[in-house]
């Protein structure tokens, strides 16, 4: 009798998209395991800092202890998710290197990098804020005390730059780059866009409360279950996941059209900047049943943000590529 060994499963495991999917699953599991440990460590640090004279002459320690004390389990879970992602990132990158030892990002030097960055940022933040303040003028949102504009602008700027640089390097730089070595652009674009949307969708509900004294080794997995349950709610998927998919699609097309990350960084940073600034200076006034389906709790959900993201992407990518073509 001749025995045949089915190598199909081995071949599948060698596919880059499978490695990325396994990285996501591993990140969720490891994050759920680490979350209670990081939570207990943070609360222990807060208790140590609160002890008499433990932070004398070290202001930074006092600030860290205060932050650790005020943070709830959901915040620790988010940090644990990030730690797990970083821990597993190294083996992922190593496994996706080509035979010559390079990661093959498929990026080119962009002579118009600063103009692309500026065009993306200005149009993304400007159009988003114009929509937000239009809804504010209608009465859907209400302005708060304008005394903290300086702080709001600084926080929004740092958030926009930080999120855009890190996420564009990972999603549109690393993932798209290595996947483009073996796969046509359209499947790569769809996969990375879906992955991008799912990653941003994996967050605990804002109104969920987990008392500190109830946290145990199962709490991380409890949160993962709640997060995954959102995928069974069609209205939630359409409200938020649709916009996230549109954002990822626009950023991916910008990267493919320019063969660089500068335009996608500008768009991404502008959107985050606009969201953070508008959220800081306004609060919701009208009930959801009045504003839906046009706008949800914030400028990320609803039909209006979805259409706006697509419109902004079309305008910016058209301007940037026309500009680029005219110079070459």
| pLDDT tens by residue, 15-63 | 777 887 888 899 999 999 999 999 999 888 888 877 755 554 555 566 6
Q: In the chain, pLDDT over 90 holds for what percent of residues?
A: 37
pLDDT tens for 93-105 read 777 655 544 445 6
Residue 318 and residue 238 share a domain = yes
**How many of the other CB atoms lie within 10 Å of CB of 304?**
19
Residue 53 and residue 112 share a domain = no
Query: What pLDDT was estimated at residue 7?
Result: 45
Q: Say whether pLDDT at 161 is over 80.
A: yes
Q: Supply the range of the domain harboring residue 3.
A: 1-96
Query: What pLDDT was estimated at residue 195?
Result: 84
- Tokens 């602008």 belong to which residue? 153
Average model confidence (pLDDT) for the chain?
A: 83
State the Cα–Cα distance between residues 104 and 19, nearest whole angstrom: 16
Residue 217 in any domain: the answer is no
pLDDT tens for 81-139 read 878 887 887 787 777 655 544 445 678 889 999 999 999 999 999 999 999 999 999 99
State the Cα–Cα distance between residues 296 and 286, nearest whole angstrom: 10
Residue 195 in any domain: the answer is yes
Residue 91 and residue 160 share a domain = no
Residue 242 and residue 192 share a domain = yes
Query: What pLDDT was estimated at residue 229?
Result: 81
State the Cα–Cα distance between residues 166 and 129, nearest whole angstrom: 23
User: Number of folded domains in the chain?
Assistant: 2
Residue 215 in any domain: the answer is no
Residues 6+ apart with CB under 8 A from 219: 35, 36, 39, 73, 77, 210
Residue 251 and residue 142 share a domain = yes
Residue 209 in any domain: the answer is no
Q: How confident is the model at residue 326 (pLDDT cuts 50, 70, 90)?
A: very low
Residue 110 and residue 92 share a domain = no
199-208, 262-271, 273-282 — most confident range = 262-271
Q: Say whether pLDDT at 169 is over 60.
A: yes
Q: Say whether pLDDT at 312 is over 60.
A: yes
Residue 197 in any domain: the answer is yes
Residue 90 and residue 113 share a domain = no
């Amino acid at each position: 009798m001749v025995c045949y060994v089915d190598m199909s499963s081995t071949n599948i495991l060698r596919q880059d998209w499978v490695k990325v999917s396994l990285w996501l699953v591993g990140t969720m599991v490891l994050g759920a395991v680490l979350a209670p440990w990081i939570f207990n460590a943070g609360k222990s640090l807060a208790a140590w800092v609160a002890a008499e004279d433990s932070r004398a002459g070290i202001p930074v320690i006092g600030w860290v202890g205060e932050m650790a004390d005020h943070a709830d389990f959901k915040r620790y879970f988010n940090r644990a998710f990030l730690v797990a992602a970083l821990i597993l990132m190294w083996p992922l990158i190593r496994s996706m290197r080509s035979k010559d030892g390079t990661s093959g990002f498929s990026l080119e030097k962009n002579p118009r990098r600063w103009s692309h960055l500026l065009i993306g940022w200005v149009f993304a933040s400007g159009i988003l804020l114009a929509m937000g303040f239009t809804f504010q003028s209608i009465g859907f949102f209400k302005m708060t005390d304008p005394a903290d504009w300086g702080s709001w602008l600084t926080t929004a700027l740092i958030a926009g730059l930080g999120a855009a640089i890190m996420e564009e390097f990972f999603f549109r730089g690393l993932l798209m780059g290595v996947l483009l070595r073996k796969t046509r652009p359209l499947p790569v674009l769809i996969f990375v866009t879906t992955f991008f949307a799912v990653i941003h969708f994996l967050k605990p509900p804002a109104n969920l409360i987990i008392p500190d004294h109830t946290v145990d080794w199962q709490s991380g997995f409890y949160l993962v279950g709640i997060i995954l349950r959102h995928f069974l709610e069609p209205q939630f998927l359409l409200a938020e996941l649709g916009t996230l998919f549109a954002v990822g699609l626009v950023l991916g097309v910008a990267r493919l059209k320019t063969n660089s990350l500068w335009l996608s960084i500008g768009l991404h940073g502008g959107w985050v900047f606009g969201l953070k600034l508008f959220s800081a200076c306004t609060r919701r006034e009208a009930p959801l049943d009045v504003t839906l389906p046009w706008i949800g709790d914030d400028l990320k959900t609803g039909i209006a943000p979805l259409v706006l993201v697509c419109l902004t992407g079309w305008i910016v990518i058209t301007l940037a590529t026309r500009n680029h073509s005219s110079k070459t």
